[in-house]
Amino acid sequence: MLEFAILGLLHERPMHGYELRKELSTVCGGLRAFSYGSLYPALRRMKDSGLIAVDDTVAASKLLPADASAFTGKRGKVVYKLTADGKERFAEWVAETGPDAYDDERFGVHLAFFSHTACDVRLRILEGRRRKVEEQREGLATALARTRERLDRYTLELHQHGLDSVNREVRWLSELIDTERADQARDPAPGPRP
């Protein structure tokens, strides 16, 4: 999850760890603030596996080159950029529409990078998510129906609020699906939309 969010963000521009974390928590509405304890190790792993690389083209840089630390023991900013491999991996991930793609977190990340996603994939993901949320709704509704009288008013409130939220999400998704379909009908070209 973290890794894909990083790939997605680096798609826009090269960034260093601290910057990535801020973007993660603010720019991408649904995405949470990962801690440095997971962010930096992730960056390292991704660098080692070739998905990202240190960007030393930072113009007129006062920044220490990443390797300088080996000599000086000092650390400078380390700006990362996507590699070809990283782009490819992200494209693969973005096109995945398996059942996992519809759980809360993954769906949020998917949506956050929908501008890098093909029309048909977008539609499939939105519909899959809607189906999943609808199933959740049914589960909640029947559970509520079966246990309504045994429940104290707080649990009842909790259930009811949950049900309302789920209903709102379904409506929201339906709207997104509608406009998506309308767009596709108007301009049936596939591929990402900027």
Partner DNA sequence: TTCGTCATGTAATGGGTTACATGATTAC
Partner DNA sequence: GTAATCATGTAACCCATTACATGACGAA
Footprint of a copy of itself on this chain (CB under 8 A)? 26-30, 108, 111-112, 114-115, 139-140, 143-144, 146-147, 150-152, 154-155, 157-159, 161-162, 164-165, 168-169, 172, 176, 194
Integer Cα distance of 88 and 51 in angstroms: 9
Q: Which of 140, 128, 141 is nearest to 173 (CA)?
A: 128
Instruction: Please give the span between the terminal C-alpha atoms of the chain, in angstroms, as a whole number.
Output: 23
Tokens 């990078």 belong to: 113
Which of 19, 183 has the CB closer to DNA? 19
CA dihedral (52, 56, 62, 64) in degrees, to 10, reads 70
Burial class for 117, CB neighbours closer than 10 Å (0-12, 13-18, 19+) = buried
Which of 84, 143 has the CB closer to a copy of itself? 143
Tell whether residue 62 is a contact of DNA (CB under 7 A).
yes
| Binding site partner of 1, from DNA, a copy of itself, none, Cβ cut-off 5-8 A by kind | DNA
Which of 29, 194 has the CB closer to DNA? 29
| Binding site partner of 28, from a copy of itself, DNA, none, Cβ cut-off 5-8 A by kind | a copy of itself
CB of 151 to DNA, least distance (A): 21
- Binding DNA (rule: CB under 7 A), the pick from 13, 26, 44, 142 is 44
- Binding DNA (rule: CB under 7 A), the pick from 12, 13, 30, 38 is 38
H-only helix segments in the chain = 2-10, 17-25, 36-48, 68-72, 84-94, 104-112, 119-147, 153-186
DSSP string computed for 70-81: HHHS-----EEE
Tell whether residue 135 is a contact of DNA (CB under 7 A).
no
Tell whether residue 18 is a contact of DNA (CB under 7 A).
yes
